[in-house]
Structure 1
Amino acid sequence: MIKALLLQVDAGGTNYTQFIMLAGMIAIFYFFFIRPQQKKQKDQKKFIEAVKKGDQVITVGGIHGKIVSVEDTTVTLDVDKGNKLTIEKSSISLDASKRLAQ
């Protein structure tokens, strides 16, 4: 009977260690995957809201251009000698002037 009680005590201890390991894995997953992605999305949203006339940008599709005008949800890009494209703000990927400076 004592052996049976000792076996039950040992089995209960492994449940706590499994819970601690699971919590540790969740914490690692959060800090290495979820949190950096949220920060990147926040920075991208801030960048899109801050674009202004005259900025050199690159779109998600790889089009390089200079912003000619900015409206609520769209921007007009001058891509080459007067050729203009109207695109959504959400399709702007990054600031080309910062990229070219590197």
Structure 2
Amino acid sequence: MDILSGLLPIILFILLFWLILIRPQQKRQKQVKDMQQNLQKGDRIITIGGLHGNVHALDEGTLVIEVDEGTKLTYDRSAVREVVQSN
């Protein structure tokens, strides 16, 4: 019984740490991954570097972003920070 009462604060600390820090981070990572996988041609996006543009073409791991008329850049899907306007 003494061992259990000694371990209880440590177990509660680990549980609290998981609930406050680890779990929300896992949810955010899942949301970002889902957003990057669900990109579609024509979506208005912002990259992690701050580039604004429209998705022109998609591949499995990359996408082509049209910045201006005729200016196209190729990026990894993981470089997309957010979708501003979905198609």
| TM-score in same-fold range (> 0.5) | yes
The equivalent residue for 2:28 is: 40
Structure 2 counterpart of 1:20, one-letter code: L
Structure that is richer in helix per residue: 1
The equivalent residue for 1:91 is: 79
Gap regions ≥5 residues in structure 1: 1-11
Quote the offset at 1:16 in angstroms.
3.2
Spell out, residue by residue over 1:53-77, the C-alpha distance to the aligned partner (whole angstroms, 9 max, x if none).
0000110111111000001111000
Structure 1 counterpart of 2:36, one-letter code: I
Structure that is richer in strand per residue: 2
3-state secondary structure, aligned to 1:96: strand
The equivalent residue for 2:48 is: 60
Greater Rg over alpha carbons, structure: 1
Decide whether the 8 Å contact of 1:64 with 1:96 is kept in 2: no
C-alpha distance in 2, partners of 1:62/1:45? 18
Structure 2 counterpart of 1:47, one-letter code: M
Structure 2 counterpart of 1:86, one-letter code: T
The equivalent residue for 1:3 is: none
% of aligned pairs identical? Answer: 33
Give the number of equivalent residue pairs.
86
3-state secondary structure, aligned to 2:42: coil
Two-structure CA RMSD over aligned residues (Å): 1.5
The equivalent residue for 2:16 is: 28
Quote the offset at 1:46 in angstroms.
0.8
3-state secondary structure, aligned to 2:85: helix
The equivalent residue for 1:74 is: 62
